[in-house]
Amino acid sequence: MRLSPFWLILLVLPPLLALFVLPPFGQRMVILAGIYGLMGLGYQLVFGQLGALNLAQGALFGLGAYAAALTAPILGPFALPVAILAAAIPAALVAGPLLRLQSHYFALATLALASLVNLSAVHAESLTGGANGLAGFATSLPRGPALLATVWVCLIAGVLLYAWLFEGKLGERARLLREAPLLAATLGIDGAAWRFVAFVVGGALAGLAGACSAALSGVVSPEATGFSIMVLCLTLVVLGGSRHPMGAVVGAALAVGLPELLRDLQGAWLLAYAVATLAVVLWAPEGLAGLIDRLRGARPAPAEPPGLPDVLPAVGGPKTLVLEGVGKRFGGVEALADVSLWLARGEVLGLIGANGSGKSTLLNVINALERADTGLIALDKLRIERLSTPEIARAGIARTFQTLALAGDSKMADLARAVATGAPFLLLDEPAAGAGDHERRELVGIIRRLRDAGRGVLIVDHDIELLSRVCDRLVCLDRGRVIASGRPADVRADPHVRASFLGLDGIAA
Amino acid sequence: MAYALVALGFVLALNAAGAVNFAHGDLVVLGGALASFVGLSIGLPAVLLLPLVAVAIGVVGIIAARIAILPLASRPPEATFVATIALAAIIEQSLTIAMAGAPRTAPALLGGGSFTIAGFVLGRQPLAIVVLGAVLVAAVWFLLERTQTGRRMRAVAADRYMARAVGIPVGRYVILSLALSGALAGVAGFLLGHQFLVAPTQGAGHMLKAYIAVALGGWGSVPGALLGALGIGLFETFAAARFGDAWASAALYICVLAVLALRPRGLFGEPVGRRA
């Protein structure tokens, strides 16, 4: 999503016009649009890229505004960095517990936090001037060209940086994190770190915007921390396009421009704005900026269909994956008990067992989607049983899933994604489920190529014929315990295995 | 008790829509505004006014379901959040324009004044609120637990896909839930509208309290939401009497944050894998 010349011109035009053509009143509007744009850009990081409904952005904006109003008489222009910190530091402090919350609790917690800030603004009268707010303070920057330049230079830099950052890989990762957090974790993307950075940087931008708005209006009242600013921020981002680099700018331009266009309608502009937002949510979820791109015919090229090269490059990294005495209980159910196994590079290990024997749990425990209660798991000498899922992914274990996580995804794409991480060890969860004969043959070919490229493959499946063909060894689980392991023919002949998995008469053998 | 009605309607909409209805607080305000409007201009007796308000806001609930909830059923819950926030803004702004900024009072249910029972002075209105609230809660309980319609509503709330698979017209029941939710919001707005003034900006506050009640009482649990609402009401009354309104609200928000920090899945947890 690099910014096209079309957008670049639209982005640079308003401040230039304001500087050289527009009367002071128009200048003021352009500054205000820039301020909203900054706040919205920060919001895009959290809401747009990560899909988290943060309802505290307005409060952070207000914190910035108050901080600037209080410190500007002493610090002058340096009140701006203070205001950024005044928003970013509280954001960083609350981020830890806040960002663990699920979507609706996250929204509630940020809303409660925002209400607290608003309440303090109204009632801490000695500091904030109470309901009347602060007025008549010396502003950090003189209104006019200096403020205009500051706001728009920051905004333009921010938009360009945003467009550059979220083009390509980083944007894809953000999408994965948003739409399939589990999958993202198994590919080594640390969601917690992402959310933290987005939340704090977004807050910092809100603080800067708040400070600039204090400089622009010369008044700060509790309204700056209120829900209506929050709603404005949310709607402008949604209206403009919550992920498009120009989304916040387009939304902000409308938020400032609409009231002027609809001046005859008095207060109705907010109404029109809300109606427009609802319409965009319903019919153009990518926002107006995205809609304009579509009308211009500038759409990103569709991704290449996934596939694997004929010869896979060898990868470096650890040589063995070892499990020793791994156990896992769910309440009273012993899902895994004292499971020990090892897998070397260039080897294919098949995991068999009846439904509920603990096969998927074992895969989940290896890459920490579930925590093992006992035992150790190691890549060479590196103990990994206490690492997080992304850390384990980066240490060299990739996996596929039984059920697909992304819309329009396929089993083959899932496999390709895991292979493409370059991880030396792959955990494949039922790759052949639902596959036809042709696909099964293809799968066998791929697994052999992976072995030839020196990857270690642990594969769970019900297709014992397929496993016998590709696996060097088989391990059979029964109610969480290893009951047999060895060469496929030996394991299939084992009486315990025949009893537990194949049925007493060995129907499938 | 009026909070309980707000929370009850909120949780019904929540379960049916599978996402928070941010416009719920504004439906409450709309109920209060309508009551004051019609009550003052026509002078309709409260007994007739109440069902009128309930039906009218119920219809608004249906409209909300049609435009902001059903079309977004297959999208992530955040889409519904945003759509209902936009809807809330629409209602709030329309009301601001219609009421021209002046807060109003809804008429009393049983007339003003108070009477004395065994030495306790009881206001008529608070008493009316408690009685009416209890009756409505009981009626909703009966509907949900004892009728086929209620069972289907709960089926849709519990698992939309399964409900569709067994032949329940899901869309219709979502609309029905929202209508009921709206009607309860309207009644609550009517009742609150006499106690306190009706102002267009109150919507967010009502919504937040219902949201808190539901989060504390157990996500999606109807009795939990009622308990949560009653708890909040009591807490606020006592805290406000001792420390003043501002501290009471602050303490409430801090409690919520503390609960969420310690129990990220809500006070009583929720079924794993549940959609927001």
Nearest to B253 among A97, A116, A275 (CB): A116
Q: Quote the crossing angle between the two packed helices A227-240 and B77-99, to the nearest 10°.
A: 120
pLDDT at B273: 38
The single residue listed with the structure tokens 């914190």 is A63
Alpha-carbon separation of residue A174 from A166, A179, A184 (angstroms): 8, 9, 9
Kindly state whether B93 is in contact with chain A, defined as any CB-CB distance less than 8 angstroms.
Answer: yes
pLDDT category at A347 given cuts 50, 70, 90 is very high
Please indicate whether, in this complex, the C-beta atoms of B83 and A282 are within 8 angstroms of each other.
Answer: yes
Among A271-275, A320-324, B66-70, B96-100, which range has the highest average pLDDT? A320-324
Token output for A35: 């301020």
Query: Which chain B residues touch A122 with a CB distance below 8 Å?
Result: 246
Residue-wise pLDDT tens digits, A215-258: 888 888 888 888 888 888 988 888 888 888 898 999 999 888 87
pLDDT at A153: 92
In this structure, the number of other CB atoms found within 10 A of the CB of residue B243 comes to: 12
Residue A307 has pLDDT above 90, yes or no: no
For A213-264, give the DSSP string. Answer: HHHHHSEE-GGGGSHHHHHHHHHHHHHH-SSSTTHHHHHHHHHHHHHHHTGG
Question: Is residue A192 within 8 Å of residue A26, measured between CB atoms?
Answer: no
pLDDT at A425: 93
For A165-174, what is the mean pLDDT?
Answer: 82
Where does residue A8 rank: exposed (0-12), middle (13-18), buried (19+ CB within 10 A)?
middle
pLDDT at B22: 85
Kindly state whether B132 is in contact with chain A, defined as any CB-CB distance less than 8 angstroms.
Answer: no
Residue B239 has pLDDT above 70, yes or no: yes
For A4-15, what is the mean pLDDT?
Answer: 87
Strand A473-478 to A456-460 pairing: unpaired
Kindly state whether A266 is in contact with chain B, defined as any CB-CB distance less than 8 angstroms.
Answer: yes
Please indicate whether, in this complex, the C-beta atoms of B93 and A274 are within 8 angstroms of each other.
Answer: yes
Kindly state whether A255 is in contact with chain B, defined as any CB-CB distance less than 8 angstroms.
Answer: no
Residue A288 has pLDDT above 60, yes or no: yes
Nearest to B83 among A103, A104, A281 (CB): A281
pLDDT at B275: 35
Residue A381, phi-psi category: left (phi > 0), alpha (psi -120 to 50), beta (remainder): alpha
Which among A328, A327, A237, A334 has a CA at the least distance from the CA of A285? A237
pLDDT at A22: 82
pLDDT at A41: 93
Domains contained in chain A, CATH given: 5-226 (no CATH), 320-502 (3.40.50.300)
pLDDT at A366: 92
Kindly report the backbone phi and psi dihedral angles of residue A458, in degrees, each rounded to the nearest multiple of 5, phi listed first.
Answer: -110, 120
Nearest to A281 among B82, B90, B256 (CB): B82
For A276-293, what is the mean pLDDT?
Answer: 85
Write out residues 23-62 of A within 8 Å (CB-CB) of B: 47, 51, 53
A:B CB pairs within 8 Å: 117
pTM reported for the whole predicted model: 0.80
Within its chain, how far is the Cα of B226 from the centroid?
Answer: 11
Type of residue numbered B78: E
Within its chain, how far is the Cα of A48 from the centroid?
Answer: 9
Write out residues 229-258 of B within 8 Å (CB-CB) of A: 246, 249-250, 253-254, 256-257
Residue B204 has pLDDT above 90, yes or no: no
A502 or A51: which leads in pLDDT:
A51
pLDDT category at B121 given cuts 50, 70, 90 is low
Please indicate whether, in this complex, the C-beta atoms of B86 and A278 are within 8 angstroms of each other.
Answer: yes
Kindly state whether B211 is in contact with chain A, defined as any CB-CB distance less than 8 angstroms.
Answer: yes
- Cβ neighbors of A122 (< 8 A, separation 6 or more) are A128, A130, A131, A222, B246
Query: Which chain B residues touch A51 with a CB distance below 8 Å?
Result: 76, 78
A45 or B119: which leads in pLDDT:
A45
Mean pLDDT of chain A: 84
Kindly report the backbone phi and psi dihedral angles of residue A344, in degrees, each rounded to the nearest multiple of 5, phi listed first.
Answer: -105, 160
pLDDT at B276: 33
Q: Which residues of A475-503 are buried (b: 16+ CB within 10 A; e: fewer)?
A: bbbbbbbbbbbeebeebbebeebbebbbe
Q: Quote the crossing angle between the two packed helices A5-20 and A24-43, to the nearest 10°.
A: 140
Residue-wise pLDDT tens digits, A104-121: 788 888 888 888 888 888
Please indicate whether, in this complex, the C-beta atoms of B86 and A119 are within 8 angstroms of each other.
Answer: no
Residue B272 has pLDDT above 60, yes or no: no
Nearest-Cα residue of chain B relative to residue A109: B257
3-class secondary structure, A426: strand
Kindly state whether A331 is in contact with chain B, defined as any CB-CB distance less than 8 angstroms.
Answer: no
For B210-239, what is the mean pLDDT?
Answer: 80
For B156-178, what is the mean pLDDT?
Answer: 82
Please indicate whether, in this complex, the C-beta atoms of A119 and B96 are within 8 angstroms of each other.
Answer: no
pLDDT at A264: 67
Residue A368 has pLDDT above 80, yes or no: yes
Nearest to A101 among B79, B211, B264 (CB): B264
Kindly state whether A238 is in contact with chain B, defined as any CB-CB distance less than 8 angstroms.
Answer: yes
3-class secondary structure, B4: helix
Please indicate whether, in this complex, the C-beta atoms of A282 and B253 are within 8 angstroms of each other.
Answer: no
**CA dist., res. A395 & res. B61, Å (int):** 52
Say what the ipTM of the complex is: 0.81
pLDDT category at A309 given cuts 50, 70, 90 is low
Nearest to B266 among A103, A105, A273 (CB): A105
